[in-house]
Chains A and B, each alone.
Chain A
Amino acid sequence: MLTSAFYFIAFVTVFFAVMVIAAKNPVHSVLYLVLTFFGISANYIFILDAPFVGIVNIIVYAGAIMVLFLFVIMLMNLNAEAEHRKSNAFLIVGAFAGGSLLLIVVDAIRKVDWKSVSGQESSGGAIGSIKVLGKVLYTDYILPFEVASVLFLVAIVGAVILARKEKLPLTVGQISHPVSES
């Protein structure tokens, strides 16, 4: 039952992921990506026993990051016509590159002896629970946690200075003269 659930979820996830890059309308892409995230979260919750990560995945990715994407796309009026497709050659090269990467990865991990990799019996406590994760995070991973707050500071400063308006003429290169905004 779980195995078939996994195959179902996996199939749906991959399908939506493909649709993300295939959809013409960016709004559709965003929605497909949200669905992909739901698929991944379903994996966390239903199969991998990691409910906290699953829910946080939805809150952070679907509830915050993708909302921001949608915001930007909606406000910028990016309709389907906005993007000229790359030529077919590009498509083929891209697909070929991705496909070969996949083949290489799959080939490398196919031969791994999984018994040595996993196979540890569960120790009883649910490691995906918020309590356990919180304990580990705030005892062993204090330093990365604080460093992450520096990262947030950088992001705050960066976002504020880049997104704010500035009343200057548009230029191309530091030396050349202003060009008119069209």
Chain B
Amino acid sequence: MVTLAQVLPAIILIVVIFALTMLVALYSTFAERKVAAFIQDRVGPNRAGPGGIFQPLADGVKFFMKEEVIPVLSNKFLFILGPSIAITASLMTGVVVPWGPDITLFGKTYPLQIVDIEIGILYVFAVVSVGIYGIMIGGWASNNKFSLMGAIRASSQVISYELSMGLAIIALIMVTGTLSLREIVEQQHGWHWNILYQPVGFILFLVCAFAEANRTPFDLPECETELVGGYHTEYSSMKLGFYLFAEYINMFISSAIMSTLYFGGYNYPGMDAVNEFVGPVIGPLIGFAVLFAKTCFFIFFFMWVRWTIPRFRYDQLMNLGWKGLIPLGILNLIATGAAVLYFK
């Protein structure tokens, strides 16, 4: 039996993480514009509030207030289903991320992770692979050539890069011997970050993460020069908002997962000493802040790349995925195997 008392901490954590995710997603849009402005030597949004700090809120309200347009020829139910799947899937990934070390509150110890499952990484993969439906259904239901083309491109791209991502992860698992994100983080205690053992794997993962999130330079599905808006050409109001939000949430979560897998998650050098000094409540919160900082760095990196590197051509993108990254992933796998055997 699961009682309310048991579920309550989970619910609280879910709510907190949910709010955090939303906040990060909202402010990522803002940050994106600010970063773009910085790189292009402009000011960026600066009207709403001091330095434009309320801009995302204004955007959010606008999404609520805009007119819904559902094209006549489209399949209405599927048209609404598409963005809903996209955002639901992106919200589901966060549950396996360990946000911080165990925290002690009111004499009881709670982990800062919603679920600790043995196959955490596979769970992430499962959710990501379901997320494709959002794009495909949305693009198809729009009954628009650009949308369909965008959806097809997006899904081809996502599935192609999923393979190399899997290969990168497998090499990592050979080192860690577990799929549980929590255990992976704990193994990286202090300075033993996996990036030291898996540099190639990390680069692979990073590239694939860009492709999976449809970020530049892999944003072919929605490249406005060819496909207007890609799969969300016909979308408006909150449904468009969901697609955009999903992208930012994905960016946030994949940054968090990258930090967790390769950069020690909430670990930082000298954390034992700090923990002893500040106690079991503040210590975990510092850990959380560390993870958050790492995540923010990756989000910044995503944006930096977006405004620096031009977009690929589609054939280049597919060739990179199939003929570049997959062989690289396999080589990395073999090298990792040899190294692990040699050193252990």
Binding site for B on A (CB under 8 A): 1, 25, 27, 31, 34, 51-52, 55-56, 58-59, 62-64, 67, 70-71, 74-75, 129-131
Contacts and interface: CB of A to CB of B under 8 A. Distances in A.
Contacts of A59: 122, 125-126, 129
B24 to A, nearest CB: 26
- The main secondary structure of chain B at its interface with chain A is helix
A160 to B, nearest CB: 13
B155 interface: yes
Contacts of B118: 51-52, 129-131
A56 B81 CA distance: 24
Interface string B104-122: 0000000000000111001
B39 to A, nearest CB: 36
B318 to A, nearest CB: 15
B136 to A, nearest CB: 6
A56 B128 CA distance: 13
Contacts of B128: 63
Contacts of B81: 31
A34 B133 contact: yes
B152 interface: yes
A75 B125 CA distance: 25
Nearest to B127: A58
The 5 closest A-B pairs by CB, nearest first: A63-B129, A58-B126, A55-B122, A74-B140, A59-B126
A63 B158 CA distance: 11
B123 interface: yes
Given A62-B130, A67-B136, A27 B78 contact: yes
A27 B132 contact: no
B2 interface: yes
B22 interface: no
Contact of B119 (A27, A31, A130): A130
B123 A55 contact: yes
B119 A67 contact: no
A70 B2 contact: no
Nearest to A51: B119
Contacts of A129: 118
Contacts of A55: 119, 122-123, 126
27 contacts: A1-B2, A27-B78, A31-B137, A34-B133, A51-B119, A52-B118, A55-B126, A58-B130, A59-B126, A59-B129, A62-B126, A63-B125, A63-B128, A63-B129, A63-B130, A67-B133, A67-B155, A67-B159, A70-B133, A70-B136, A70-B137, A71-B136, A71-B152, A74-B148, A74-B151, A75-B152, A130-B118
